[in-house]
Amino acid sequence: MQSITPRVDIAFKKIFGVEENKDLLISLINSIVSEEDQVSEITLLNPYNPKSFRNDKLSILDIKAKGKDGKRFNIEIQISDEADYNKRALYYWAKLYTEQLKEAEDYANLSKAIGIHILNFTSIPESDKYHNVFHIVEKENGLKYFKDLELHTIELKKFADSVSNELSDVIAKVKTSLDIWVAFLTKYSLLDKDNLPESLEENTGLKKALNVLEVMNFNDAEREDYENHLKWLQIQTNTIRNYELKGEQKGRAKGFAEGEARGIEKIALNMLNDNEPLDKISRFTGLSQDCIMKLKDKL
């Protein structure tokens, strides 16, 4: 049987969203958030429940948790790219923040809410980093007045594309605790819990996650939904790869055409410098005489 992929949301939640694996979730959260937001204990607000995805094959199985100090965390892994995902992320954060008023109808009791979005695609091409952190800040001086809003994006594709499928290359890339978790999510097939490299040997969280992944069992209904989600992931991955390939091909073709055009123009300019007649230059380069006259004006 094919090994289970932790990037599929159902498997992700069975690894990080159950009571017996809260230590893994704590480790994942602490690898992402700042020192001031580290957690030592959490309460799962929506533990894993197979019924939560039975009627929605493409849902996000988010993990909601609360720290001892009241901070709220929403961790979700998104399989496929969607239009306006940034707006959706804000909406999820807003729900996480406002839901607190059901418990205490006093604004003073609202705690910081942190959204963590683990994405299986590139969402922010303007940034080379795979981990980006967003706050509301004052436009000119960067003052962070509204401190309760924080959003993280973890773009797995950026990390995966930056390393080969050689274990030595992955190990060389791993520098932080978040790198380790992202390596687990993207390069898990290269990691053997019983034979980890020396630099990872002491990481008990990684060992446990690999073991959970290895022994994970699905009932028939869960297996069906896992396969459907995995199929969707593969379709999306292949679609993205095809678009990228077509883009590369178009780019090469465009570059060749532009290079060829520049070469022809250079020949025409050299012939103009040698005072060759326009009709001869036109026959030799294939350029119209009007085009050649425009090049001549540039001289």
As a three-state string, the secondary structure of 213-229 is HHHCCCCHHHHHHHHHH
Going by pLDDT thresholds of 50, 70 and 90, the confidence category of residue 67 is very high
User: What pLDDT sits at residue 242?
Assistant: 57
Q: Are 26 and 63 in contact (CB under 8 A)?
A: no
**Share of residues in the chain with pLDDT > 90 (%):** 48
The whole-number pLDDT of residue 224 equals 77
Over 60: is that where the pLDDT of 56 sits? no
CA within 13 Å, CB half, 264: 16
Is 65 in contact with 32 (CB distance < 8 Å)? no
The string of pLDDT tens digits covering residues 121-150 is 889 999 999 999 999 999 999 999 999 999
Question: What's the CA gap between 295 and 244, in Å, rounded?
Answer: 36
pLDDT at 88 over 90: no
Give alpha helix (H) positions in the chain: 9-16, 22-32, 85-98, 156-161, 167-173, 177-187, 204-215, 220-273, 278-285, 289-298
Q: 21-48, pLDDT tens digit by residue? A: 999 999 999 999 999 999 999 999 988 7
Nearest to 79 by CA among 15, 28, 11: 11
Contact (CB, 8 A) for 225 and 53: yes
**Percent over 70 (pLDDT), the chain:** 82
Q: Name the packing angle between helices 220-273 and 289-298 (round to 10°).
A: 80
Q: Are strands 63-67 and 42-44 parallel, antiparallel or unpaired?
A: antiparallel
pLDDT for 55: 47
* 152 SS3 class: strand
- Please give the pLDDT value at position 258: 58
Longest alpha-carbon distance in the chain: 88
Tell me what the mean pLDDT of segment 199-216 comes to: 90
Query: Residue 73 pLDDT > 60, yes or no?
Result: yes
pTM recorded for the entire structure:
0.74
Q: What is the mean pLDDT of the chain?
A: 83
Distances from the Cα of 70 to the Cα of 16, 42, 53, 284, angstroms: 20, 9, 27, 78
Using pLDDT thresholds of 50, 70 and 90, give the confidence band for residue 293: confident
* Locus of tokens 């007045």: 145
Q: pLDDT tens for residues 220-232? A: 777 777 777 777 6
230-278 tens-digit pLDDT:
776 666 556 555 555 655 555 555 554 555 566 677 777 877 887 888 8
**Alpha carbon distance 270, 287 (integer Å):** 14
Query: Residues 220, 186, 62, CA angle at the centre, nearest 5°?
Result: 55
pLDDT at 99 over 70: yes
Q: What is the mean pLDDT of residues 195-207?
A: 91
Looking at residue 167, its pLDDT comes to 92
Predicted confidence at residue 58, as pLDDT, reads 44
What's the pLDDT score for residue 1?
43
pLDDT value at residue 259: 54
| Residue 2: per-residue pLDDT | 56
Structure-derived torsion over alpha carbons of residues 174, 180, 185, 191, reported in degrees to the nearest 10: 80
CA 142, CA 140: separation in Å to the nearest integer? 6
Looking from the CA of 44 toward its CB, the CA atoms found within 13 Å total 19
What per-residue confidence (pLDDT) applies to 241? Answer: 55
Q: Regarding beta strands 63-67 and 113-119, do their DSSP bridges make them parallel or antiparallel, or are they unpaired?
A: unpaired
